[in-house]
Amino acid sequence: MAQRKRESGGSASELTRLSLLTAMALIIFIVEQQVPFPLPIPGAKLGLANIITVYAVNRCRSGGVLLLVLARIFLGSLFGGAFLSPAMIFSLAGGLLCLAGMLPLRKILDEKHIWLGSIFGAVLHNTGQIIAAVFVMKTAAVIGYYPFLLVIGCIAGAFTGLTAQIIINRLK
């Protein structure tokens, strides 16, 4: 069977695609920041920008995806006035751990199971957030939020992953 194609073509076209994806991820990220999440749990959100990340994971090379995620986190917190704040450190730790799981998983998962990779991405994102929070808050007590974040993360990850999966399969 043919693998999902991951264009390795011209670096200029790859760069254009990445900047477009970054712009989209940023817009989603910033709009989502304006809409408060209904549950008062710090760090909990739908993470709609993850749709773009999952798309990129399945369509771009690893280096490109890493660039995309880093750009979204740095520019997103710069625009949101949270540059170098704890929130940015949590995003960074979560985002990197999430990629460390989703990038290898794309080799195992076929185009009907992209949502599954997204769930693991979300779980790893929450794990990274909590580890960073333990260090920033200087107390292990924040681990109390971990199970709540995981429940929300699994649901949100499945939702954003399924959305990305539908887009990826339509744009074949």
Per CB under 8 A, the segment of 20-28, 38-46, 70-78, 91-99 that binds other proteins is 38-46
List the end-to-end C-alpha distance of the chain, in Å, as a whole number: 15
* Residue 31 binds other proteins (CB under 8 A): no
Please work out, in degrees rounded to the nearest 5, the angle formed at the alpha carbon of residue 26 by the alpha carbons of 37 and 107.
Answer: 95
Judged by CB under 8 A, the residue of 48, 154, 162, 168 near other proteins is 154
- Hunting for tokens 């107390």 — which residue is that? 139
Q: How far is the CB of 172 from other proteins (least distance, A)?
A: 19
Q: Which is nearer to other proteins, 26 or 133 (CB)?
A: 133
Q: Does 74 bind other proteins (CB under 8 A)?
A: no
Stretch that binds other proteins, among 10-18, 23-31, 55-63, 117-125 (CB under 8 A): 117-125
DSSP string, 21-88: HHHHHHHHHHHHHHS--SS--TT----TTHHHHHHHHHHS-HHHHHHHHHHHHHHHHHHTT-TTSHHH
User: Rule CB under 8 A: is residue 78 a binding residue for other proteins?
Assistant: no
Asked if residues 130 and 146 have their Cβ atoms less than 8 Å apart, the reply is yes
CB-nearer residue toward other proteins: 74 or 145: 145
Between CA 132 and CA 147 the distance in angstroms is 16
Interface residues with other proteins (CB under 8 A) are 36, 40-43, 81-82, 85-87, 90, 105, 108-110, 113, 116, 119-120, 123, 133, 136-139, 141-142, 144-148, 150-151, 154
